[in-house]
Structure 1
Amino acid sequence: MKYTTLPNTEIKVSKICLGTMTFGEQNTEAEGHEQMDYALEQGVNFFDTAEMYSVPAREETYGSTERILGTWFKKTGRREEVVLASKIGGPNPNFAYMRDTTDFSAASIKYALDNSLQRLQTDYIDLYQLHWPERKTNYFGQRGFKVQEEDAWVDNIHAVLDTLGDFIKEGKIKQIGLSNETPWGIMRFLEESKHHNLPRIKTVQNPYSLLNRLYETGSAEIGYRENVGLLAYSPMAFGVLSGKFLTGEKHPKARINLFPQYSRYNSAQCTEATKLYQEIARKNGLSLTELSLAFIEQQPFVTSTIIGATTMEQLKENIDTIQVSLSDEILKAIDEVQAIIPDPAP
């Protein structure tokens, strides 16, 4: 395994992070425990979860993933070996069951954090992230920003950072990060921290894959110059970049088929781009999975790549890609496809 540190900290994390959002929906508790056992054995010491998981989010499974991590920590006693990341969900009328107000007020953060700690059976979270912005902006598949007149958001970033700082002082969280955030949002948080001596964000967890390189436009330069690391999620584009959907074979249990809200990964443009990337992989003696994950792992602005698997075979293949290195020629070929079919799955 390869390691780095969370930016501006001494917290050592693996370059591959275990994503867990399938635990409690597509994976049972026993399967989740098996994945965590194997990942840690392979040197993956970085696990990511969220209060709203498992996915797709629904009231019946709310908090199920954190509970599975919690029972694993209790069973194994290996909490101190893991850098644990979790997230608080933001405003969404569909998630009213999570708490009285799904915002980032002090009361809401306290409620969400305390309940996450209880489910996780731990007294601290290493990296606590805001899962998506409170304001109306472009995330979760929306390609560009659109002004929405009904956006009633009032800038409260100072108060949010101040509240998170209180929980850092209490020892309940160690570091903070953002998720599904825009360049403006990242810089706004950094600006407030700098001018008011408030806790500084260390990471941003955004989608990044061969089919979605939008992070490179604006956010990557911020990450590089401000030392904010990218935690790349959906690196396999919901399994599309495994190439398994190109064969014509039906995969009824695949996430892309189970959850129609992620249909952006299933467009004709995605299929065509995936075929071109698969051909690059074939010509260079690689699997499409190796090409897809190695591309991300080599980006200098990426702190860790979040992988998610529903089978042990997938997990093993994903972790093994840490040994793959892509040549300049391969990277050039990838860029040529990106120029023809740019970011088909935002």
Structure 2
Amino acid sequence: MKFNKLGRTELKVSEICLGTMTWGRQNTEQEAHQQMDYALDREINFFDTAELYAVPTIPESYGLTEQYIGTWFKNSGNRDKVILATKIAGEGVPWIRDGSPINASSIRKAVEGSLKRLQTDYIDLYQLHWPNRGHYHFSNAHDFDPFSQDTQAELSNMLEVLETLDALVRDGKIRHIGLSNESAWGTMQYLRLSEQNDLPRVASIQNEYGLLRRYFDHDLAEVSHHENVGLLAYSALAAGALSGKYLDGQIPKGTRGELSEGATYRNSPQSEPAIRAYMALAKEHGLDVCQMGLKFALDRPFMTSVIIGATNMEQLKTDIDAKDIVLSEDVLEGIKQIYVQYPRPI
């Protein structure tokens, strides 16, 4: 297993991060514990969760994933072997603090709730799940409207957030901070404000990245390189769509698509031709298309860790084994040509 520095911190995280968001809906507590045991055996020292999880999110599953991790920590005694990341939910989820935005009050409440569920007294990486001001992630690109944002109000909120996180760092409740579903402008403002005010520095950014969605290749890749803010990539397999399991309107039993009508938005008339092309490329070179997609993400120069999620042990083993394959120049050229043809399928 390869390990990468988390931003400018002293932490070194495994290049593969164990994602957890299916635990509590598609996976039982016992299955979650089995996944954590196996991941640790495979040298994965980095787990990512969120107060929002499980996903697809419903009020009844809020916090369940963190609870499962907490019982595993208690039963296994392995807290010190794991670099743990979690997130505060952003604005707009009615059953989480009445949909309140991220601010000083909500951060304190969220951290205390997470610590209790996780049965730990500290969080290694605390992330903002999505910005208050709106964003282009989760397929919101067509409706993204930055022109209604109040610049000074946004900067004031960012400073309040950083000051609150600084107090929690000083209290020993969190060690480092990160962003998620952010933009280049937002990331740079957090970095500027932290430098100007001697506040905690953003260590990472957790955004979607994979063969079917490569926004990060542009401005954020440059930010990552110059500012040492590495990517923690989620949905490298486009929530499973890259496997082809949702092609032609299929909804296999036990998948996220069966649980939630909106969960298969990454499989669409626009994405299906790209998915078929990547599947054909993988087949041509004797590769598993999911392993090809994960390895492509792992090899990107801005990548700190790729977050994998699995609903069964076979998927988990296959995903972890992706780190050991080699993508030939012919495969990389094939990926480039498909990307030129389908630059924004989702």
* Greater Cα offset, 74-83 or 275-284: 275-284
Residue of structure 2 equivalent to 1:273: 274
Separation in 2, partners of 1:90, 1:159: 15
| Paired amino acid for 1:115 | G
1:81-160 mapped onto 2 (5 Å cutoff): 81-92=81-92, 95-100=93-98, 102-143=100-141, 145-147=144-146, 149=148, 154-155=154-155, 156-160=157-161
1:188-337 mapped onto 2 (5 Å cutoff): 188-246=189-247, 250-337=251-338
Contact 2:2 2:15 in 1 (8 A): yes
Residue of structure 2 equivalent to 1:65: 65
Contact 1:32 1:68 in 2 (8 A): yes
Separation in 2, partners of 1:218, 1:311: 36
Contact 2:53 2:64 in 1 (8 A): yes
Separation in 2, partners of 1:258, 1:104: 28
* Greater Cα offset, 144-153 or 222-231: 144-153
Residue of structure 1 equivalent to 2:56: 56
* Greater Cα offset, 2-11 or 151-160: 151-160
Distance 1:159 1:333, change over 3 A: same
Separation in 1, partners of 2:249, 2:127: 39
SS class of match (2:141): coil
Residue of structure 2 equivalent to 1:47: 47
SS class of match (1:268): coil
Contact 2:251 2:258 in 1 (8 A): no
Unmatched segments (≥5 aa) in structure 1: none
TM-score (norm 2): 0.95
SS class of match (2:307): strand
C-alpha RMSD of the superposition: 1.7
Unmatched segments (≥5 aa) in structure 2: none
Question: How far has the Cα of 1:317 moved from its partner?
Answer: 0.3
Separation in 2, partners of 1:263, 1:295: 22
Question: How far has the Cα of 1:292 moved from its partner?
Answer: 0.5
Residue of structure 1 equivalent to 2:29: 29
Separation in 2, partners of 1:298, 1:340: 22
Distance 1:195 1:66, change over 3 A: same
Contact 2:180 2:205 in 1 (8 A): yes
SS class of match (2:186): helix
Question: How far has the Cα of 1:290 moved from its partner?
Answer: 1.4
TM-score (norm 1): 0.95
Question: How far has the Cα of 1:343 moved from its partner?
Answer: 2.1
Deviations along 1:51-83, one digit per CA (max 9) or x if unpaired, are 010011221111000000000000000000000
Amino-acid identity (%): 48
Distance 1:201 1:78, change over 3 A: same
